[in-house]
A and B are shown apart, each in its own frame.
Chain A
Amino acid sequence: AQSVTQLGSHVSVSEGALVLLRCNYSSSVPPYLFWYVQYPNQGLQLLLKYTSAATLVKGINGFEAEFKKSETSFHLTKPSAHMSDAAEYFCAVLTGTASKLTFGTGTRLQVTL
């Protein structure tokens, strides 16, 4: 069985501040891990993915995430938040084909001036 936990349903940061969105996973086999972003009234867009290659993964829009096996974590970071980053972010874990993708409950990121 696999599961994913996102700590914090809402995160608020100031523009220019560090963004840190937390994701912990549970998996009995080496997982694939994903971060998706959902802007208002839109579907989910892939930000980045970990597929057992480099543990530090760079994605679009300046985001990156680090796979830490010892901590079963895959936290999403961005050095400097921009207003356009305001959205909902979903972490997901996969141990098989795409139909077995398990999503977290999401973290809504608010960026303030």
Chain B
Amino acid sequence: ETGVTQTPRHLVMGMTNKKSLKCEQHLGHNAMYWYKQSAKKPLELMFVYNFKEQTENNSVPSRFSPECPNSSHLFLHLHTLQPEDSALYLCASSQAGGRELFFGEGSRLTVL
């Protein structure tokens, strides 16, 4: 139990589907992150939220749409994805301005 819970753990979707990934943290943190982990590549930071406000978007395609309704919840809405978007999506949290990330167990996404 890491204190960061991601659902679903596995998701298969077609290119025309709309789905969402959910992340919830129980650590009292106020910064949340989405990372993409693909085979043979370093972890890629996608989005950062501090106190519910998006503070970083690392040139992520608009088919990925994040939402952070409060400091404990983070969503990643997925729409018209491509097969190359298949990856493990990791959510993490930290104290705002902190230096240590706490990761969830990830959501394995397969786009057919």
Residues of A within 8 A of B (CB): 32, 34, 36, 41-46, 49, 51, 90, 94, 97-99, 101-106
Contacts and interface: CB of A to CB of B under 8 A. Distances in A.
A44 B90 contact: yes
B101 A43 contact: no
B90 A105 contact: no
B42 A104 contact: yes
A98 B105 contact: no
Interface size class of B (residues with CB under 8 A): 20 to 34
A98 B100 contact: yes
A6 B99 CA distance: 21
Given A43-B105, A44-B103, A99 B56 contact: yes
A36 B97 CA distance: 20
Nearest to B9: A41
B40 A43 contact: no
A103 B38 CA distance: 13
Contacts of B42: 102-106
A16 to B, nearest CB: 30
Contacts, number: 58
A46 B98 CA distance: 14
Interface in B3-38: 4, 6, 9, 31, 33
10 contacts: A41-B105, A41-B106, A44-B103, A46-B100, A49-B100, A99-B31, A99-B33, A99-B56, A103-B43, A106-B42
A103 B42 CA distance: 6
A77 to B, nearest CB: 22
A7 to B, nearest CB: 14
Contact of B2 (A43, A94, A103): A43
Given A42-B105, A46-B100, A98 B31 contact: yes
Interface string B38-67: 001111010010000001100000000000
Contact of B4 (A36, A43, A49): A43
A99 to B, nearest CB: 5
